[in-house]
Chain A
Amino acid sequence: MPERKVIVESEVGLHARPAATFVQTAAKAPIDVTVARPGGTPVNAKSILSILALDVRNGETIVIHAEGEDADRLLDDLAAIVSVP
């Protein structure tokens, strides 16, 4: 099952500019993508409001999950966005 567990290195967490870039990247893909805290309820990665409400801070771990064509490449892209300090 294609999934990435990543530590959010972005200083502002998954908010502001990284959140917008993350959501825009996810939204471009034709497949479903979700984000969750480990063990938490997944939310739609294409929804800025759901991502903001998740309130992920710098240093927290998130699990990104996608299924379908090119899922691995999309997950790599998304993981890269939150890995930039």
Chain B
Amino acid sequence: METLTGAGVSPGAGYGAAFLLRVTIPEPPAGARHDGDPVAETARAEAALARVAAMLGERGAACGGEAEEVLRAQALMARDPALSAEVAGLVDAGVAAERAVYDAFLRFRDELAEGDGYVAERVADLDDVRDRVIAELTGVPMPGLPGEAGAPYVLVAHDLSPADTATLSREVVAAFVTERGGPTSHTAILARAMGVPAVVACAGATGLVNGTMVLVDGTSGVVTLAPGEEEVRSRLADAGAAAEPAAVTGPGRTADGHRVPLLANIGGPHEVAAALENGAEGVGLYRTEFLFLEREEPPSLEEQVEVYREVLAAFPGAPVVVRVLDAGADKPLPFLRPTAPEPNPALGERGIRLFRVYPDILTTQLEALARAAEGTTARLQVMAPMISTPDEAAWFTALARDAGLADAGVMIEVPAAALRAADLAERTGFFSVGTNDLSQYTFAADRQFPSLSPFQTPWHPALLDLVALTAKAGLPTGICGEAAADPAMACVLVGLGATTLSMTPTAVPWTRTALARHTTSDCHAAATAARRAVTPEDARRAALAHLPGLPAS
């Protein structure tokens, strides 16, 4: 039986027919000619452009919101008269339709790529339209999701973007498999949020033939092609048993009664329901970026107040930790431009560094938060991303307190901040460790780069040392990276001194169960054993030896 292997990033097993979302469209050969009827060939190109335009328009209307605007602009690109004229000219000169389309798009692509900011960002949209048109012309399966599939399918893609996945649900997708991506890629986070198994960084995935039945193990990362009936039944049964959290309810606590509030990571009011359904005791990371993305200007004070209030009102009496805008790096915004071109954006002006340049946007956000909290009973806390020095911590904390937000803290994502956590502790109110970025900066390994994804596991002893050092400084220390979604790691984090754990909402029941099965001393023993190990694999094995309530797989 043939198998492919990648990184399992969302646990469980899924079985279904493979559906390839977007095959890489090969460049039509240069010099491809048609058989001599330019009128028919031009008509063929025109028809393909029109079909793509119609499809993009329909999908946009179905999506609404920001996605609709992008798709509407893409539909206009597909029916652009200047593009059509270029295609017709090339076909008249004998060029085959697919190559003519390719060359015509290339001309406009070069023009857009010369621009900056908004215009240059449209290049990706243009490439997407071009690929869809060439797919139409060459008979390669049309990118796009099947509308009404009879049974849930396994979505296979090179990588997935938020626009691709806006309308998916677990009723239609049995599992995700992507060729690229890592544990913190969009696919991984989405899959965990949906509770669907996922395997990423899976070499050869996009070589799968559409319709092949595949069994996806989101724990081991193994994708089995055309598995036997017996294997499917037993794997799904095993996964079902393991995936059923025992009926532990109530607030997070260890077997000996030590309280560890279990909080949710959310991106806005739309994720509040999932947090509540899964029994989150509050919000440990409210990412406010979504409110600012894809805009030319920051949202107004009033608009911010309204959105924040919606979240705060959903958690009466409970903690809600809001991270102020974390722009820069992979989330560039037109109104928060770095002061010079950045050869290396992840190491550039991002997070708090941008606010030092544009303090007004921060003070407006803090004021909006203070106003939103009026009349609600949520325990609002605010924190700043990308803090690396005690000065930055003091600056942010003072600004927050000036705005009337007494409970201000900082994220620990940079090794320098963890190493000098004691100094930061004198200048701020709490810590929240972002394990994803802390891994990226500790190992100097881009978290989006597929071949470097082994650096992203939180089981690296170097990372565990930094978490321990942070917690030792004595402030309340939350964990808000994806690490807390791994039940064994959650126990280790508690053993390292974490006081709250925040994670994707669907992970809360598993973490609650794992904690309830172990005492504080089990957690300490697991943490100590993990830190004594040298490799992440050994660290995990060593920790599990002290966590009898968890399967040792």
Taking Cβ atoms with an 8 Å cutoff, the residues of A that contact B are 11-12, 15-17, 19-20, 23-24, 27, 43-44, 46-50, 52-53, 55
- 30 CB-based A-B contacts, threshold 8 Å: A11-B297, A12-B118, A12-B296, A15-B118, A15-B296, A16-B69, A16-B73, A17-B69, A19-B73, A20-B69, A20-B72, A20-B76, A27-B81, A43-B82, A46-B80, A46-B81, A47-B80, A47-B81, A48-B77, A49-B108, A49-B111, A49-B112, A50-B82, A52-B112, A52-B115, A52-B122, A53-B112, A53-B115, A55-B115, A55-B119
- A13 nearest CB across to chain B (Å): 8
Interface centre among A19, A27, A53 (most CB of B within 10 A): A53
A49 touches B297 (CB 8 A): no
Q: Which residue in B73, B108, B118 is a CB contact (below 8 Å) of A20?
A: B73
Chain A residues with Cβ under 8 A from B226's Cβ? none
Cα A17 to Cα B83 in complex, Å, equals: 20
A53 touches B108 (CB 8 A): yes
- B62 nearest CB across to chain A (Å): 18
Q: A46-B81, A47-B80 are in contact. Are A53 and B111 (CB under 8 A)?
A: yes
Chain B residues with Cβ under 8 A from A49's Cβ? 77, 80, 82-83, 108, 111-112, 126
Chain B residue at smallest Cβ distance from A12: B296
Chain B residues with Cβ under 8 A from A48's Cβ? 73, 76-77, 80
Taking Cβ atoms with an 8 Å cutoff, the residues of B that contact A are 69, 72-73, 76-77, 79-83, 108, 111-112, 115, 118-119, 122, 126, 296-297
Cα A43 to Cα B80 in complex, Å, equals: 12
- A46 nearest CB across to chain B (Å): 5
B296 touches A11 (CB 8 A): yes
Interface centre among A16, A19, A23, A49 (most CB of B within 10 A): A49
Interface centre among B72, B73, B297 (most CB of A within 10 A): B73
Cα A23 to Cα B83 in complex, Å, equals: 14
Chain A residues with Cβ under 8 A from B111's Cβ? 49, 53
Chain A residue at smallest Cβ distance from B84: A47
- A54 nearest CB across to chain B (Å): 9
Chain B residues with Cβ under 8 A from A50's Cβ? 80, 82
The 10 closest A-B pairs by CB, nearest first: A47-B82, A53-B111, A12-B296, A48-B76, A49-B108, A47-B80, A55-B115, A49-B80, A50-B82, A46-B81
Cα A24 to Cα B69 in complex, Å, equals: 13
- B275 nearest CB across to chain A (Å): 32
- B92 nearest CB across to chain A (Å): 19
- A37 nearest CB across to chain B (Å): 14
A24 touches B81 (CB 8 A): no
Interface centre among A15, A27, A43, A52 (most CB of B within 10 A): A52
Q: A17-B69, A46-B81, A53-B111 are in contact. Are A23 and B76 (CB under 8 A)?
A: yes
Chain A residues with Cβ under 8 A from B118's Cβ? 12, 15-16
Cα A30 to Cα B504 in complex, Å, equals: 53
Cα A47 to Cα B77 in complex, Å, equals: 8
Chain B residues with Cβ under 8 A from A16's Cβ? 69, 73, 118, 296
- B173 nearest CB across to chain A (Å): 31
Chain B residues with Cβ under 8 A from A19's Cβ? 73
Chain A residue at smallest Cβ distance from B110: A53
Cα A56 to Cα B279 in complex, Å, equals: 50
Cα A55 to Cα B119 in complex, Å, equals: 7
- A50 nearest CB across to chain B (Å): 5
- A71 nearest CB across to chain B (Å): 18
Chain A residues with Cβ under 8 A from B126's Cβ? 49
